[in-house]
Amino acid sequence: MSSACPNPNDRWFTGHWPMFAGWLLVVGVWLSLPGGVGCEQSGSDSVPASGVAAPAKSPKLASLVPAATDLLVAMGAGDHLVAVSNWDTPRPQIAHLPRVGDYQTTDWEQLAQLRPDVMIVFMAAERMPAGLKQRADALGIRLVNVRTETVRDILQTIRDLGELTGEPQKAAALEQKIQSQLDTVARRVAGRQPVPTLLVRDEAGFALIGGDTFVDDVLKIAGGTNVASHLPVRYPTVDREQVLEMAPQAIVQLMPDAPPGVVDRARRAWQQMPQLPAVRQQRVFILTDWYVLQPGSHVGDLAEQICRLLHPSDAPATAASD
């Protein structure tokens, strides 16, 4: 078993990898350290998001975290953004914003011109590139770390971003909307038998989503139980025999923006394992909405989708918001 991220040379990930990597690869940095330690106070004034103090003026933000970008836009605070990451999914709300970096590279020339007050990052201080703090210091940019591994993290990050931007009411409204969606889904399936479910993040069916993740949280809320939650890493890669041993009754395959050809290959791959209960019962579900692997404002929509699939009689159709 491996905890490696999906292979960027995979047929699907060749084109799709940058968007997905915007969250999962940086999580890999967190997973390499005990407890996912946040950015400590330092010369660049980098701090954990919790307890962030908003600047006296309305701050200009550069977000290197797609989930944070999404949350800011969703709460109606996108006007604070002056730049986004290389990984952000193209959307009309951020189409005009320059892309200034990722977990490996940062476009300091653009940042020097844009002069954001804050740059939002997702990385442990111990693994932060040595030059990042120095360059941020030189430009007067404060580094603020966010964490979005679980649903609880996401809701906390919404509050933190509201405080950072001086928009607490907008943040509270978004948090209430998401919490209301999740509570509604939980009520629909209350008392129902949880469906043993395999959460998959690649077309081959061997890159999984384990426990202590936001998708695992969503699955529990939606009336499922994660058959890979016992594995020791959050994002394991397993083999065919391990999948067969898990014997899921449902499979939810999360492949944001996967083209039809990739979806077809994924479906054919499951036909090679007809002994799986989920395959026999035709309960293999492939979700391709752009947000399904992003720990952002659409976690409530994802919960509704999974609930409809696992417990169709208890989940009337609802449309996801943009």
pTM of the full structure = 0.82
pLDDT for 313: 79
The domain spans of the chain are 33-166, 192-314
Q: How confident is the model at residue 24 (pLDDT cuts 50, 70, 90)?
A: low
Asked, colleague to colleague, whether 33-166 and 192-314 share their fold, the answer is yes
- Alpha-helix runs per DSSP H in the chain: 13-31, 66-74, 108-114, 130-139, 151-165, 168-189, 214-221, 240-246, 260-271, 277-280, 299-310
Give the architecture (CATH level 2) of 33-166.
3-Layer(aba) Sandwich (3.40)
Asked whether the predicted pLDDT for residue 111 surpasses 70, the reply is yes
Asked whether the predicted pLDDT for residue 32 surpasses 50, the reply is no
Q: Which one of 3.40.50.1980, 3.90.78.10, 1.10.10.10, 3.40.50.2300 gives the CATH number of domain 192-314?
A: 3.40.50.1980
CB atoms within 10 A of CB 217: 22
Q: What are phi and psi of 242, to 5 degrees?
A: -65, -40
Q: How confident is the model at residue 35 (pLDDT cuts 50, 70, 90)?
A: very low
Q: What are phi and psi of 279, to 5 degrees?
A: -75, -45
